[in-house]
Amino acid sequence: MFSSLGLVALTLASAVLADDLAFSVSTADFKARFVQSGIVPEVIAALDPSVSFYASYRAADGHSELLVPGSSLTVAEAGGAPLEFSVENLSNATSVNSQTRFLIYLLDADAPDRSAPNARNLRHFLAGNYTLSSAMSAVLPTAQRLTVTQQTFFPFTPFTAPNPAPNTGVHRFIYALYTQPPNFNTVGFQSVGMELQTANWNLSRWRTQLGLGPAIGATFFSIDTGANGGQGVSANGSTFVGGGAGAGAGTGVPAAPGAAAPGVAASLSMAGLAGLAATLGVMAMF
Ligand SMILES: *[C@@H]1O[C@H](CO)[C@@H](O)[C@H](O)[C@H]1NC(C)=O
Ligand SMILES: *[C@@H]1O[C@H](CO)[C@@H](O)[C@H](O)[C@H]1NC(C)=O
Ligand SMILES: *[C@@H]1O[C@H](CO)[C@@H](O)[C@H](O)[C@H]1NC(C)=O
Ligand SMILES: *[C@@H]1O[C@H](CO)[C@@H](O)[C@H](O)[C@H]1NC(C)=O
Ligand SMILES: *[C@@H]1O[C@H](CO)[C@@H](O)[C@H](O)[C@H]1NC(C)=O
C-alpha cells in the first residue's frame, strides 16, 4: 500500500497510522512543503495559499488516494486523470462567493530532465469553469468538491499523462488553483492570445495575460525516474521527503455524476508527522 511513499515517510507512517481515513493538511503546511521541496523559489517565486487544495488519484493498489503536497507517485499512478479536486477553507480566500469559477492546471517543473529542465514548465492540464460543489469529497469528508459540468468543460490543455523519461531524476508535478476572472465564464483562454504550446510555459507572463491574481491553492507530487539527482535529493541538494495518501473517490473532470467508486486507503497525518519529525530531527520545515 505504501509502495509509492518515500523511505522516511514510510518509516514514520507505520508509527502514526491510526486508521484508514485521510487527514486534512493545514494551509500553512501546504506552504511549508512548497519551500521544503525547493519549488519555492526555484519554480514559483512565492506561494501564499489561502485554501487547502487537494487532488485524488488511483493508487497502484486500486484505492483512491488523497494527494497531499509531496506525495510520490509512480508513472502508472499519475497516468489517470485526477479522480477529484477538492478544497477546505475556501471561505479563507478573498473575493470568492458561490458564483466564483476556478481554473486548475497541472505542470511538470522538471521537464525533460531534473538537472536540465529546458522545457520548464511543461503543461499537462489546464481547464477553467470549476465551481464549488455542495458535495463533499469522497476522499476527505471535510473537503468540498470542485466540479465542472459537461456544458462548461472546455479544457484548454486536455489532461496528458505524465510520462517522464527514465533516469531524468525526481520530477515535481504541480497542481494550482486560481479564481477565474469572470470574462472567462463565456470565452476561452485563447481569447486573450494564450497559445496551445505546452512546453516552456511562462507562468508570470501567463498570469499577466489572463489577469490572474496569485494562486489560492496548490499541491504537488513527485515521480522518481531514477538517477540524475537521485532519490530523496532535490536538484540543489536539499532533502526531499515524500508525502502521504488518503481514501475515497470522486470525479475531478466530469464523468457521470456520482460515478465515484469508493475506496479505502491509508494516509499520513501531517500533524503526526510534524511531531515525529521534531522528535527525530528530520523535516525541519515542519
Ligand atoms: C482559515 O482561516 C482561519 C482564520 O484565520 C484559520 O484559523 C484557519 O486555520 C484557516 N484555515 C486553514 C486551512 O489554514
Ligand atoms: C534550494 O532549496 C531550498 C529549499 O529546500 C531553497 O531555500 C533554496 O533557495 C534553494 N536554492 C537554490 C539555489 O535554488
Ligand atoms: C477549515 O476547514 C476545516 C475542515 O473542514 C474546518 O474544520 C474548519 O472549521 C475550517 N475553518 C474555517 C476558519 O473555516
Ligand atoms: C466556460 O464555459 C463557457 C460555456 O458556458 C465557455 O464558453 C467558456 O469558454 C468556458 N471558459 C473556460 C475558461 O473554459
Ligand atoms: C517570463 O515572463 C516574464 C514577464 O514577461 C519575463 O520577465 C521572464 O523573463 C520570463 N521568464 C522566462 C524564463 O522566459
CATH of the domain at 173: 3.90.280.10
Residue 180 lies in a domain: yes
**Banded pLDDT at 100 (limits 50, 70, 90):** very high
Residue 285 lies in a domain: no
CB 268, CB 69: distance < 8 Å: no
Peptide bond into 236 cis (omega under 30): no
Query: 172 lies in which domain range?
Result: 7-280
Residue 52 lies in a domain: yes
Q: Which ligand is nearest to the CA of 91?
A: 3
Atom 3 of ligand 2 has which residue's CA nearest to it?
38
Q: Sheet of 64-67: strands edge to edge?
A: 64-67, 52-58, 84-88, 144-147, 122-136, 102-108, 170-179, 217-224, 71-72
| Higher per-residue confidence, 248 vs 49 | 49
Stretch 224-232: mean pLDDT: 69
Residue 58 lies in a domain: yes
Q: Which atom of ligand 4 is nearest to the CA of 188?
A: 9
Average pLDDT, the chain: 78
Q: How many domains does the chain have?
A: 1
Q: Say yes or no: CB of residue 52 within 6 Å of ligand 1.
A: yes
pLDDT of residue 61: 86
**Ligand 5 mutation pick, 42, 120, 202, max ligand atoms within 8 A of CB:** 202
pLDDT of residue 154: 97
Nearest to 232 by CA among 242, 221, 243, 240: 240
pLDDT of residue 92: 81
Tell me which of 9-23, 137-151, 255-269 is least confident: 255-269
Atom 5 of ligand 4 has which residue's CA nearest to it?
152
Stretch 158-173: mean pLDDT: 95
**Banded pLDDT at 21 (limits 50, 70, 90):** low
Residue 120 lies in a domain: yes
Residue 19 lies in a domain: yes
Q: Express each pLDDT in 67-83 by its tens digit.
A: 999 999 999 999 989 99
Q: Which residue in the block uniquely carries the three cell numbers 494527494?
A: 67
**Ligand 3 mutation pick, 54, 87, 142, 145, max ligand atoms within 8 A of CB:** 142
Q: How far apart are CA 262 and CA 226, in angstroms?
A: 33
Residue 76 lies in a domain: yes
CB 267, CB 23: distance < 8 Å: yes
**Banded pLDDT at 255 (limits 50, 70, 90):** very low
**Banded pLDDT at 95 (limits 50, 70, 90):** confident
| Higher per-residue confidence, 246 vs 227 | 227
